[in-house]
């Protein structure tokens, strides 16, 4: 069981700022920007590349949640979404999550 599953099950605490029947949004414990949130599906999914066709709506929902939460906290004009897929891309928790980063300028290309 992953750490994020324990957060979904409320077995370990997190600073949850949004929740609906399909998703959960909480603050990253090691923030890389003044605003650093994690948007996760409640359904266990290891990584984006493991998603099946039936997950299309859920993945789209997570993107909608990102925009909705950004509006709610007033950062809708400037934020970055990041998904690390696989250990070599920086994924350390193997439950799909979208990083929402805001509150500072961002450079391109990313590291």
Task: Report the b/e string of 23-51 with b at 16+ CB within 10 A.
Answer: bbbbebeeeebebbbbbbbbeebebbeeb
Structure tokens at 108: 């391109």
**Contact code string over 59-88 relative to ligand AMP, x by CB under 6 A:** -------------------------x----
CB of 92: closest distance to ligand AMP in angstroms?
A: 4
Interface pick for ligand AMP out of 90, 103, 104, 106 (rule CB under 6 A): 90
71 HSE (CA, 13 A, CB side): 5
CB of 50: closest distance to ligand AMP in angstroms?
A: 14
Mark whether 97 is an active-site residue: yes
């Amino acid at each position: 069981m992953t750490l994020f599953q324990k957060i979904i099950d409320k077995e370990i605490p997190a600073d949850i700022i949004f929740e609906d029947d399909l998703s959960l949004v909480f603050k990253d414990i090691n923030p890389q920007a003044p605003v650093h949130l994690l948007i996760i599906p409640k359904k266990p999914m290891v990584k984006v590349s493991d998603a099946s066709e039936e997950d299309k709506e859920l993945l789209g929902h997570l993107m909608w949640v990102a925009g909705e939460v950004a509006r709610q906290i007033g950062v809708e004009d400037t934020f970055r979404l990041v998904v690390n897929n696989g250990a070599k891309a920086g994924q350390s928790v193997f439950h799909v999550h979208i990083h929402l980063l805001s509150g500072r300028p961002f450079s391109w290309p990313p590291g």
